[in-house]
């Protein structure tokens, strides 16, 4: 065999050995990868907390990536935090009240519908007319869940948070004063107690506004009763013009109150409420 014939054969042997070695390495690598996957699956099935942590990290990474692409953080369950209900899903009477209040106080009907529905439920539990609860809400805050008076009355029902902090503990603490539903429920409880102590609705309203020991509540109870009467008519299906109702409400406004906001007099809200 000459050198010229043995050289090509040597080259072929060389490439054959390289090819076989590469195949073996690749084959072993895939085998190791497969074993690693099987081991990871067994670990995840045996340790669900590890799987949960991994899923959480993956979701966080995806959310961060989406936020960087869109410019904001998306939350699919954010709607669950909204105090809102489709007014079309309400009973006819409640829907009428919600739409009327929406027009009068320039508040979207969806959140008002949620408040109306809650007022009817809370009123049923407390044996109070729900339209009375809504009338107080209208006069006190004009349906602003973040309203605050100069003396510390807060939220829809303008409850004195510091005075009734014990009641808010059932809802997680004093900051629940700014949760519309929690504030409504606490306010209804306070109103119920005031009426029970006073022995009458008028007396209860005086106590609610902090004028129980005063001769005059500054027209507060009259304003609430006027709005209460209008809401009763609306609930009964009668036509109550919104504009005339606003004018009537303004004519009976409490001194020191901005009629357009519906807030009660700060100077009076210094009693037990």
Task: Report the chain (273 residues): mean pLDDT per 10 consecutive residues.
Answer: 56 58 54 60 64 70 66 74 92 97 96 98 97 98 96 96 94 96 97 96 96 92 96 96 58 37 47 51
Least Cα distance to 163 among 179, 148, 174 occurs for 174
The enclosing H or E element of 28 equals: helix 3-46
Most distant CA atoms of the chain, gap in Å: 130
Domain shared by 54 and 105, yes or no:
no
Q: What is the pLDDT of residue 12?
A: 62
Question: Do residue 127 and residue 95 come from a single domain?
Answer: yes
- Angle at Cα 46 formed by Cα 40 and Cα 48, nearest 5°? 90
The reported pLDDT for the residue numbered 124 is 97
Phi then psi dihedrals of residue 160, to 5 deg: -75, 100
pLDDT at residue 248 in the model:
45
Instruction: Look at the chain and report how many structural domains it folds into.
Output: 2
How high is the pLDDT of residue 25? 53
Do 110 and 197 lie in a common domain?
A: yes
Q: What is the pLDDT of residue 260?
A: 34
With residue 159 as reference, give the H or E element that holds it.
strand 159-160
| Res 257: pLDDT | 38
106: in domain = yes
The residue segments making up the domain with residue 31 are 3-74
**How high is the pLDDT of residue 14?**
55
Same domain (yes/no): 124, 28:
no
Note the pLDDT of residue 77.
75
For residue 270, the model assigns a pLDDT of 46
Please report the pLDDT score of residue 60 as a whole number: 72
Q: What is the pLDDT of residue 265?
A: 45
pLDDT at 18: 58
Indicate whether 146 and 226 sit together in one domain.
Answer: yes
Give the model's pLDDT for residue 252.
40
Given phi > 0 = left and psi -120 to 50 = alpha, else beta, which region is 102?
alpha
């Amino acid at each position: 065999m000459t050198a010229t014939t043995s050289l090509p054969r040597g080259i072929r042997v060389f490439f054959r050995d390289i090819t076989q070695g590469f195949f073996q390495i690749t084959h072993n690598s895939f085998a190791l990868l497969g074993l690693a996957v099987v081991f990871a699956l067994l670990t995840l099935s045996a340790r669900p907390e590890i799987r949960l942590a991994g899923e959480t990290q993956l979701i966080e990474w995806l959310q961060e990536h989406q936020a960087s692409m869109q410019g904001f953080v998306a939350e699919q369950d954010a709607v669950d935090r909204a105090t809102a209900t489709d007014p079309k899903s309400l009973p006819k009477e409640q829907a009428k009240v919600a739409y009327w209040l929406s027009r009068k106080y320039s508040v979207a009907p969806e959140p008002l519908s949620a408040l109306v529905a809650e007022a009817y439920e809370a009123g049923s539990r407390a044996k109070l007319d729900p339209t009375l609860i809504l009338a107080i809400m209208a006069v006190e805050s004009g349906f602003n869940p973040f309203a605050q008076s100069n003396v510390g009355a807060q939220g829809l029902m303008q409850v004195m948070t510091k005075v009734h902090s014990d009641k808010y503990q059932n809802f997680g603490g004093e900051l629940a004063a700014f949760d519309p539903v929690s504030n409504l429920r606490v306010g209804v409880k306070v109103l119920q107690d005031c009426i029970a102590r006073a022995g009458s609705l008028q007396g209860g309203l005086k106590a609610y506004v902090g004028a129980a020991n005063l001769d005059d509540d500054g027209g507060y109870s009259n304003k609430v009763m006027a709005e209460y009467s209008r809401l009763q008519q609306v609930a009964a299906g009668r036509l109550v013009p919104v504009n005339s109702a606003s004018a009537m409400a303004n004519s009976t406004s409490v001194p020191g109150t901005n009629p357009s906001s519906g807030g009660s007099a700060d100077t009076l809200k210094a009693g037990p409420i």
